[in-house]
A and B are shown apart, each in its own frame.
Chain A
């Protein structure tokens, strides 16, 4: 099954694949043994302001549309009556189409504030889960992933709800489109040298393990992804 990217599910699948990669295991032997080998991957400029619910892939959105379009009039009226002020202010008319249209036009960034529990209850599990992740892990367009690496193994990959104060041996920062390019095969050294990404930590240590770094990139490319945006 192809996981949505970015998501916890994709990260977990990536971790499994990395740990199954024997070349990576061999190339990264000794990594993080005498030093902190953990990474923070900082993904900036996630397009939550400019992406609306309706912009998400059809597979995710269509079930929601289906649910809302088949509400009977009383159910729709009850929903409208319980709407948040912000959502109500955007409702520009009566009827199912208008309601669905307003829902789909909601920027992802505004979903936590504007979508109330009554409406959220109609969200399919998959959409609800993904939106929950965005809410929990994205702050001002930035998500931080902690990658625990030691001696050939990736012990954990976690999205951090509260990354402040978390310190690791290495940090890699870049805008979301650049991370997508990395997954699609771009070279991380090139990204850092051309300042598409910023790097903190001992670059000479990473260069000693540049084969392992390449394997991490290759494995990411081989972990299928369906892009949310």
Chain B
């Protein structure tokens, strides 16, 4: 159990209500709430039309580039996008089913506005899935994604996601958000939001965005690039939401409210527990395929280290044990280097094929 330092790195003013005068006032909704802003900005900026983006930018250049790439370069991009695909499905599911309920919990002050914002949040997550799933099919061609298996989660996890262990973070996210939605306990909620907004969105997704931007040096994929800039912009608001919600919980803990005690420890525990997923994801789209497009795992890790400092120390005001955090990512990375990823992927594909066989004939084994 890690020590939580009482020494907050950055003092934050109590409450995060916007100071500027709102344009409109309402009876029940607090239009000065930051969540009202996030909702309204979601309406203004977050409702970009995926299909129109496809029409506006077009698939031609991306398809042309794809046709010219080597097999290993394609594999690299496929792995990167597979991580996003499974990730977006997972966050979309958990947002719809669990986060919405969590925002109704009594431990929060701005429930009405948070619940309003969650509708935009969930909408955008599903849009991200729409973009990534469609893009992969339209540009990268037919792939067997085992879509008919486990339809509740949009299909089985992509084999490479399962093989690297990246699936574990999505499983954990599902478990913790479900638990928090049920218990409404502030510490459970803090843990759930940490995994979802801090690790998955704050670190993994941003590591992925870094990779997408870096891809542009060696692969001209304008539709991918533009789509992900929209996705990244939405995610910026998502992270803002997560940070604000966690800040509220932290402030209540520091104010001495009994049921909030343990919030900061919970956040730190989840950081230490889940941060190795950065290695799983980063490895998957770099060293696992010998990094032909030169994304660079080392550069990625330096950037993620900086993001960790920004999120946890500077923004949340916690005091993390850097050596421990970085050590965990490194240990997981070294484990990844030892694995025979292609063999693992093949194993999962075989399992899925067998499941398919069972599902097709109604449960009678062959």
Contacts and interface: CB of A to CB of B under 8 A. Distances in A.
A and B in contact, CB less than 8 Å: yes
B294 to A, nearest CB: 14
Interface in B150-204: none
A187 B330 contact: no
A193 B301 CA distance: 10
Interface string B311-349: 001000000001100110010011000000000000000
Nearest to A214: B323
A189 B322 contact: yes
B333 A204 contact: yes
A203 B302 contact: yes
Interface string A187-207: 101101111000101111001
Contact of B330 (A193, A194, A204): A204
A151 interface: no
Interface string B298-313: 1001100110110001
Given A202-B298, A203-B298, A203-B301, A193 B308 contact: yes
Contacts of B302: 192, 199, 203
Contacts of A203: 298, 301-302, 305
B79 interface: no
Contact of B322 (A193, A201, A204, A208): A193
A3 interface: no
B216 to A, nearest CB: 22
A210 interface: yes
Interface string A104-146: 0000000000000000000000000000000000000000000
Nearest to B287: A204
Interface in B89-143: none
A195 B297 CA distance: 18
Contact of A204 (B297, B308, B309): B297
Nearest to A204: B298
Contacts of B305: 189, 192-193, 203
Interface string B16-42: 000000000000000000000000000
Nearest to A189: B322
A203 to B, nearest CB: 5
B310 to A, nearest CB: 9
Mostly, the A contact residues are: helix
B319 to A, nearest CB: 11
A189 B333 contact: no
B333 A210 contact: no
Interface string B31-63: 000000000000000000000000000000000
A210 B326 CA distance: 10
B301 to A, nearest CB: 5
Contacts of B309: 190, 193-195
A202 B299 CA distance: 8
A189 B306 CA distance: 10
Interface in A177-226: 187, 189-190, 192-195, 199, 201-204, 207-208, 210
Given A187-B322, A204-B333, A193 B297 contact: no
Nearest to A205: B298
A207 B327 contact: yes
Nearest to A196: B309
A190 B313 CA distance: 11
B322 A207 contact: no
Contacts of A193: 305-306, 308-309, 322, 326
A204 B301 CA distance: 8
B288 to A, nearest CB: 14
Nearest to B326: A189
A202 B296 CA distance: 10
Contacts of A199: 302
Contact of A207 (B306, B308, B313, B326): B326
B203 to A, nearest CB: 13
User: Which residue, B302, B308, B334, has most C-beta atoms of chain A within 10 A?
Assistant: B302
Contact of B323 (A195, A201, A210): A210
A169 to B, nearest CB: 12
User: Which residue, A187, A199, A202, A204, has most C-beta atoms of chain B within 10 A?
Assistant: A204
A97 to B, nearest CB: 48
A190 B297 contact: no
A193 B326 CA distance: 10
A29 B302 CA distance: 24
5 contacts: A187-B322, A193-B309, A195-B309, A204-B333, A207-B327
Interface of A: 187, 189-190, 192-195, 199, 201-204, 207-208, 210
Interface of B: 297-298, 301-302, 305-306, 308-309, 313, 322-323, 326-327, 330, 333-334
Given A199-B302, A207-B327, 10 more contacts: A192-B302, A193-B306, A193-B308, A193-B322, A194-B309, A201-B298, A203-B302, A204-B301, A204-B333, A207-B330
